[in-house]
Amino acid sequence: MLEKKRAQTIYTSSLVALIGNAILSVSKVVVGLVAHSLAVLSDGIDSATDVIASFVTMVASKIISKPPDIQHPFGHKRAEAIATKVVAFIIFFIGAQLIITTINRIIHGELRVVPGPVAFYVTLFSIAGKIFLAVFLFKKGRKTRSTMLKANAVNMRNDIFISLSVLVGLFCTYFLSSPITDYIVAILVSLWIIKSAIQIFWTSSLEVMDGIKDESLYSIIFSAVEEVPGAANPHRTRIQPIGDMYMISIDVEVSPKITVGEGHNVAINVEQKIREKVENVYDVVVHIEPHGNIEDQEKFGVSKQTIESS
């Protein structure tokens, strides 16, 4: 997918999520206040954080579409990981604030009334809306390979379970006439929000620290090099994620008797073979060395021996 088209798809998907969550948030906050349900109110505030998260991804989609410049020679794709972390911080803060507020209300005995039946209907409406948004964002996230949309989709999926827990809490509260159940569900919802924030933060940390999820990519790259005549001992291999793409650097040994031009051709063939085997390659840098070359300063990267010994 072309970069501009990808960025536009992320922007449009985020806009749909923003509008959908705004409608759900306003509905649940209003009903939560009217029906005296702290659990529904908490669920509504959680949807408000989803509005903020969608806005963040919309802004990030504009940033990642910018071309490389002097300060950012690899482009601006890393903005996706940064935006994902911002979303995680927002979700964590709201979850922590909700649990503190709920505990304070339990201590001071506030809102000890049974929620009204309208709380059931808005929660059912929320579940239907979240299912649509989760499926929509998962599809768009897979299509664009966007960590932001995937994180937002996971958040929508979590919200389905949150709303289901709220529904169960309302059922128990309404039929058992026990307002404390509403408080308990509100606390559980808050803990789920915090858990989701930690998961999203941890996932995004991998890209920020130049880590990759699929370690099998190294074996694929080494196999690709072995198919190139004249290329041997691929080592000091580094795969750096940049948004939805990979920056690959690799050292390859060749015969010291060939010319510079022949060595260059080997490097070109290695690059082409890697691009054939690995999807979404941003760039490939191939460093040519003579057979048996040993450099004590080479501390970074992965070799075939490293994988075999692990």
pLDDT attached to residue 66: 85
pLDDT attached to residue 255: 94
Span 3-208 CATH architecture:
Up-down Bundle (1.20)
Q: Which residues of 210-226 are buried (b: 16+ CB within 10 A; e: fewer)?
A: eeeeeeebbeebbebbe
pLDDT attached to residue 2: 61
pLDDT attached to residue 102: 75
Distance (Å, whole) CA 143 – CA 156: 18
Superfamily (CATH) of domain 216-309: Cation efflux protein, cytoplasmic domain (3.30.70.1350)
Residues of the chain with pLDDT under 50: 1
pLDDT attached to residue 146: 83
DSSP assignment of 106-129 equals HHHT---SPPPTHHHHHHHHHHHH
Tell me whether domains 3-208 and 216-309 share a fold. no
pLDDT attached to residue 137: 92
Are 119 and 40 in contact, with CB atoms under 8 Å apart? yes
How far separated are the first and last CA of the chain, in Å rounded?
A: 35
Q: How far lies 301's CA from each of 187, 239, 250, 306, in Å?
A: 46, 8, 8, 9
Domain ranges of the chain: 3-208, 216-309
238: which strand partners? 249
In the block, tokens 């911080």 appear at: 89
Strands across the sheet with 232-242, in order?
232-242, 245-254, 281-290
pLDDT attached to residue 109: 64
pTM, two decimals, is 0.67
